[in-house]
Structure formats: structure tokens, C-alpha cells
Chain A
């Protein structure tokens, strides 16, 4: 997201052409931006305004019942809602553990392959598959693997002489099964980005370090890490933003269960809005989530100087 030096081709209104062409040329910049800006403004401003109004009201599922103003009541409820607290904790645990594992595995594999395996194209092609196929297909595949009666994983446990498990149906293992499926799906993403970063490293500093007798470890920390920092920052930002909104995998594998062990924020908002039909409260939670995620990403982008 680092911006290059802008190329300043200025619009030079030409004297020739029809009146329409002259008008178009004069306003070309805004005309080309307008469709995108208008659509995005419409589809972000309307939801935000709607939620700001709904969040301070009690909205009944029955459209004939008038809305009742409750002030900050919906926000106060969030403080004493144990199910919400569980959802927040699950989302944070999932994000931290899954993204950390994906990052360490992806970076480790990229370093190893960059050094020792030259012909990577075939490998890249294979690694594309988990992150490109529909997340629903990923969830379905892992549901088959985790299936307690005829799933492959319990067969593996049996061969290893271990007791079979309920996996996604076990309170203690459910979160781990979601994390494992997510790591399978997204480690290739970190791997490919790191590989691209490693391929673009300049060779001169390494030659200089070699001459100075710097160890491989020192070279990694003093050269590779600083050079890779922008790529690492982008990869982490995209993964964290995606992990915080986890929905598809839990919806298929556990529906938030058992006993709320895998309930994420997205799933909880979905339930409050469409199962309990408590729109005011769902809007209040959504607003907090919105400000938290946009605040975090803006802070992260500014801190990492990604958009300059």
C-alpha cells in the first residue's frame, strides 16, 4: 500500500471537440471516481446511520410496535452479557492463536523453501488450493475429516493406539479443530507473501554481511526481518482482519457449540439479529465491533506506514 511518486498528468482542457467532450475532459477526474465513491458512500453511510439510530432504541420484531428510545441501555447490556463476553474471548483467542501459528509456519516454510528448493512453481500451484476454494467447501471437508464415527482423524487415532474423540463436538477440542482448519486454509497465504518478499530482497547487503563474517542468525535478524517488515505487516493486517470476522468455519463445523465453546463475535451478532430478532442490541454490538476493527486497522496502517 506504499504509494509511488504520483505521476502528474494534468487534465489539459482541449479547445476542440463537442461541448460534451470538453465538459467531460474538464471534470474527468471526479467523473471517473464518482461511481465508486457514490456506491461506497451509499453502502457504508446508510448502514452506519441506521445502526446509530437502532442502537439507542428497543426495536421489536413486530413492525407495528413503535420503537422505544433506550439511550445507552443497549450498550450497558453489553457489559453484563456473559454470552457476549465468551464470544469476545473466543474471537480473541482464535485470532491470536490461529494467526500466530499461520505466521510462524508460513514464514518458516518460506525461509526453508527459498533457500533449498528452487523449482517452486508446482508447489505454489498446489498451495493455492486451500485458500482459493469456497470456505464452505473447506468447512465441509473438515467436517468429513472430524466426523466422529467414520472420519479419517479418528481412524488415525485408532492406528496410533489413542482413544477416539468427538473433535468438533468436544467442549475442550472444538476451538482447536476450528483453528486447525483455519491454519490449513490460510498458512499458504502467509507462505506465498513471505516467499514474494524474500524473492525481492537485495543481494548486496548479504554479500557485505558474508564478508564481515556475520552468522546466518545475525543476517536473519539484522537484514531479512527489517527488509521483510512491510510484507509481514500487510500479511498480518489482512489475516487479523479476516480472523476477527470468522463465521463460515464455525457456522458449518460447530454452530458456535458445544456450549458456546466456539461462539465468535460474528456468529453471536448473527444470532442476536436473526434468531432472537433483537435488532437494537445487535446494532449496538455491531457498532462497537465496527469502531474497534476500523480503529485497530487504522492504527496498524498508520503505525506501519503502509499507506504513505
Chain B
């Protein structure tokens, strides 16, 4: 009896401990985001206040006005949006077909493994390693400081991810429905377009959102490929203002928070697919 009582007490202690740890983890996770968000709505006097102003400040949209009307952050945001959408469309068209071909067709020997692995291995290239040749390459075709160059580069970087994700979604679909369509006289391509694609729609949507997020967040390649106000993406624009001697904390906080906001919303939508997305389709969460 004594041991059972001790056991119950120990369980209760562990449970309390778990809740306490969760509270701390939540605080540590959310506080920095709260801080960025509130700083973007604070007057300069409150941003620089010592001790810091935690809760009570008179909110202002001044920094948003300064960043998006006075400074060209609106153009950067538009560039980021156009690049992210174009990258996603192209890499999804290419990657969905490749993922399907790898999931469904028959290959001699270990070719399926070899091709899949090679596609993944291109992703292992650190971006820093490819930026010099990419810079020279796009310079040669006079494409530096264009959104097209960024879209081409991002598509190549997103394709391994999209291909592996779509391959994993197609492998989850039962092939019988496509077989039935073909028995009914549809072609192989017709079965892909009319049967497999609609069934894979949730996977396609999740993959598209991941691709959008990857392109929206990318920094290093954009830093090399876009240097002008007309072509610059939002992360590059923000970084240019951070490293200057006088940092306009309010304005860059506003730009940083606004760059994060759509991502937070998107992340909520793909929540269910998150683990699979973060692991290239390897872990099904």
C-alpha cells in the first residue's frame, strides 16, 4: 500500500513538473515574438526606455507608415510575394510530376533509389557554395537584379523538397483507383491528371504552402542576386537597414513583424502536415 501511495505522489509531482516546464517553454517561445510585435507599435521613446516598457504604451502605426510609405518596404514585400508565388507554381508543376513518376513507375534495378537520392543530394549543396557560379551565370545573361533570376534559383532549391514531399503523398494513395480508370479506357497520363492529382490535393496544398514559406524566408541567395530597390526581397531590405550605423528599430521591427505575420497564418494552416514537411516526407506526423 505504501509503495502505491508513493507511486501516486511521484506521478503527481512529475505531472506538476511537466506543467511547469511547459509554462516556461511557452514563455520562452512567445516572449521574443511578443517583443518584436510590441516594439513595432511603440513610440521611439518607449523602444529606448530603460527599464523597458513591458505592457503599457500608447500604440502607434507611425513605424508602419514610415516603413511602407516613406521607405520602399512595400516594393520589397511585393517582390517577395511575386517571387514566392512564381517559384511555388513552377516547382509544384515540375515536382508533382517527378514525385508521381518516382512513386508509381517501375524502374530497372536500383534506379528509383538512385534518382531519388540524386535529387535529394542536390539539396545538400550548401547555398554559399553555389552563389558564386550563380552570380556569374546570371550576370552573363544580364539577369542580376531581376526577379526572374531569383525564381530560377529558388525553383532549383525547392524542387528536391517538393519532389520528395509529393512522392511521399502519392505513395500513400492506393493505386487501385488509377488502375480502375485505366481499365475504363483512360490513359496513364489521364489517370494521373484526373484521378491521382485530385486525390493528392491536401498534400499538394501543404507542399505549396511550404514552398511559399521557403521562398518568402530565404535570405542568402536573394542577398547576392538582388541589390536594387526594384528587385530586392523583404529579408534583404530588412537586413540592409539593420546593419546600418543608425538603426531605425521601430521601422525594421514593423517590417520584420509584417514579414512574419503571413508565415504564422500559413503555418497554422499546414500544422497537420508540418512534421512531414520539415522532414522531406520522411517522418509522417
Contacts and interface: CB of A to CB of B under 8 A. Distances in A.
Interface string A258-274: 00000001100110011
Nearest to A267: B128
Contacts of A297: 121, 124
Interface in A3-49: 3-4, 6-12, 14, 17, 21, 24-25, 28-29, 32-33, 35-37, 39-40, 42-44, 46-47
B199 interface: no
B121 A144 contact: no
Nearest to A235: B279
A208 interface: no
Contacts of A166: none
B137 to A, nearest CB: 6
Nearest to B217: A134
Interface residues of A, number: 112
Contact of B28 (A47, A155, A184, A234): A184
Given A39-B156, A126-B30, A294-B125, A247 B106 contact: no
Contacts of A269: 128-129
Contacts of A137: 36, 238, 256-257, 259-260
Contacts of B130: 43-44, 47
Contact of B188 (A6, A25, A200): A25
**Among the interface residues A7, A241, A274, A301, which one has the most CB atoms of the partner chain B within 10 A?**
A7
B164 to A, nearest CB: 8
A173 interface: no
Given A36-B95, A140-B252, A133 B105 contact: no
A32 B101 contact: yes
A238 B121 contact: no
A110 B68 CA distance: 41
A290 B156 contact: no
Given A7-B103, A124-B271, A134-B216, A294 B124 contact: yes
Interface stretch (B46-54, B56-64, B200-208): B46-54
B18 to A, nearest CB: 4
A100 B196 CA distance: 41
Contact of A136 (B93, B239, B268, B281): B239
B126 A290 contact: yes
Given A128-B267, A135-B219, A306-B282, A28 B188 contact: yes
B239 A251 contact: yes
Contacts of B252: 140
A123 B22 contact: yes
Interface in A179-234: 184, 188-189, 192-193, 195-197, 199-200, 230-231, 234
Given A137-B260, A247-B220, A9 B48 contact: no
A150 B48 contact: yes
Q: Interface on chain A toward B: helix, strand, loop, or mixed SS?
A: helix
Given A12-B188, A36-B159, A113-B22, A6 B107 contact: yes
B283 to A, nearest CB: 5
A51 B132 contact: yes
Contact of B156 (A40, A116, A273, A282): A40
Contact of B282 (A140, A234, A287): A234
B103 A132 contact: no
B275 A270 contact: no
A113 B23 CA distance: 12
B242 interface: yes
A192 B182 contact: no
B76 to A, nearest CB: 11
A248 interface: yes
A13 to B, nearest CB: 9
Contact of B219 (A21, A133, A136, A289): A136
A197 B94 contact: no
B22 A117 contact: yes
A293 interface: yes
A6 B106 contact: yes
Contacts of A265: 128
**Among the interface residues B267, B281, B284, which one has the most CB atoms of the partner chain A within 10 A?**
B267
A17 B188 CA distance: 12
Interface in B102-147: 102-107, 112-113, 115-117, 119-122, 124-134, 136-137
Given A134-B216, A145-B35, A109 B25 contact: yes
Contacts of B182: 12
Interface in A111-151: 112-113, 115-117, 121, 123-145, 149-150
Interface string B173-188: 0010011001000011
Given A3-B116, A44-B156, A128-B264, 7 more contacts: A25-B188, A32-B97, A43-B152, A134-B219, A144-B253, A252-B243, A290-B125
Interface of A: 1-4, 6-12, 14, 17, 21, 24-25, 28-29, 32-33, 35-37, 39-40, 42-44, 46-47, 50-51, 54, 109, 112-113, 115-117, 121, 123-145, 149-150, 152, 155, 158, 184, 188-189, 192-193, 195-197, 199-200, 230-231, 234-235, 238, 241, 244-245, 247-248, 251-252, 255, 265-266, 269-270, 273-274, 279, 282-283, 286-287, 289-290, 293-294, 297-298, 301, 306-308
List the 5 shortest-distance A-B pairs measured between CB atoms, nearest first: A196-B285, A47-B133, A116-B18, A36-B98, A133-B260
13 contacts: A1-B164, A6-B106, A6-B112, A35-B97, A40-B160, A50-B133, A123-B22, A133-B217, A137-B259, A144-B39, A152-B35, A266-B128, A289-B129
